[in-house]
Structure 1
């Protein structure tokens, strides 16, 4: 399972500022369709980019509640809200997805990006979404099918070991396929489920995978069944593909939109 410290918060902030992920957040905002005066909850807010963008949309007459289990992430999110000028109507709370810190039926929307794949009790978490949404309220969930991940390297056998070990970072590495049933089980009506493919063919500052590579290597080298030397050698192999003109990374995320 994952843990997130200050270093991880900084790295996530860089990754979430890359063009692919900026475009993904735009799709999420479009799905939620935030309007001035609304109340929205962002579950697992991380470094706060989506929460702050939602806060800008709802304005001072509305409220965005951003929750996370990591104090480091909440600190980074609060700092961003201050920088973006939305902190006065953005609330931050340490809480998890199975016990949302809001009253029944009080929210216009709930969002969750790359968070439910870490939650052990999904039935309870989705029941919480249904509890806090008002009738007609929307929920937008983005998660990754990690079986779809491709990372080109010379040593294909080692890469397969790395990607298999990386699955241990998540409680549900194949969550998207389960989203329709989970939403239905919570009496949430699925309106759309769309694929959001992410492809990098260059190892540069705009590549999401550049900022992900170190996180993967650290995890699999510490807790994933590979030695640190093997993990670092794999990461070096991946980086070396750039000089050979063969850098390639892809993964598929999915955006589910449902209503109460």
Structure 2
């Protein structure tokens, strides 16, 4: 698994404000349709960007609870949301939510379920927290959709195989609809958002992934420092000569408790 320590939290705090990640976060916000005075649960709230946006949407008579297992991430979220008295950032996980039964109007989770080994349990736990007819929105990447050009496809394959070890499930959007139905949800929509770049943008998803992937592969001895560095260097060289290409699809799944 990827460790969300202080250094990683700082990297994500910057990258998550870039256009690619903002668009994915906005898609989940739009699907959730937060309204004034609602109680909303942000599952895996991370650095609190979405939490703060939800706080502004529900207003001071509403309530937003951000849940995250990482202390460094929670501290970042607390700093970001300090102006909102109606926001609580608490320790917990998708499988163990520190909220009472049937007390939440809506719940949202962005790029979290891929780190959950027992997705069915997490879905049931969110359902427990939701009020009758409560809404759940989950956004995650389907990593089978990833297309990433390289003149060394064998090395790219090794890097992607190494990256697969950092999460529990790489195909969440495909698995989620039947899991939701079995848990007592009605699936309302599955909406794709594709990030497709022919430039290596400093604030882009590809650049963020490059940094995380290189560090992760080396730290966990999946690739040598030399091979991982050459992989990243090739991508920067491809970008400089106009041959860079990266595409991946994020899916937003919306469901309602029945």
Pair 1:63 & 2:63 matched: yes
The alpha carbon displacement at 1:30 in A equals 1.4
1:170 maps onto 2:167 in alignment: yes
Deviation for aligned residue 1:224: 5.7
Deviation for aligned residue 1:7: 1.1
Give the C-alpha shift of residue 191 in structure 1.
Answer: 0.2
1:1-260 matches, within 5 Å, as 1-82=1-82, 85-86=83-84, 88-223=85-220, 225-260=222-257
Q: Distance in 1 between matches of 2:30 and 2:70?
A: 27
List alignment gaps of at least 5 residues for structure 2.
none
The 2-side partners of 1:257 and 1:158 are apart by 37
TM-score (norm 1): 0.95
- The 2-side partners of 1:228 and 1:204 are apart by 23
- 2:24·2:250 contact (CA, 8 Å) conserved in 1? no
Q: What SS class does the counterpart of residue 215 from structure 1 fall into? A: helix
TM-score by length of 2: 0.96
SS at match of 2:208: helix
Which segments of 5 or more consecutive residues in structure 1 lack a partner in the other structure? none
Q: How many angstroms apart in 1 are the aligned matches of 2:147 and 2:73?
A: 28
Other structure's SS at 1:47 match: coil
1:73 deviates by 0.4
Q: Deviations over 1:220-248 (max 9, x none)?
A: 12226211211111011111111110111
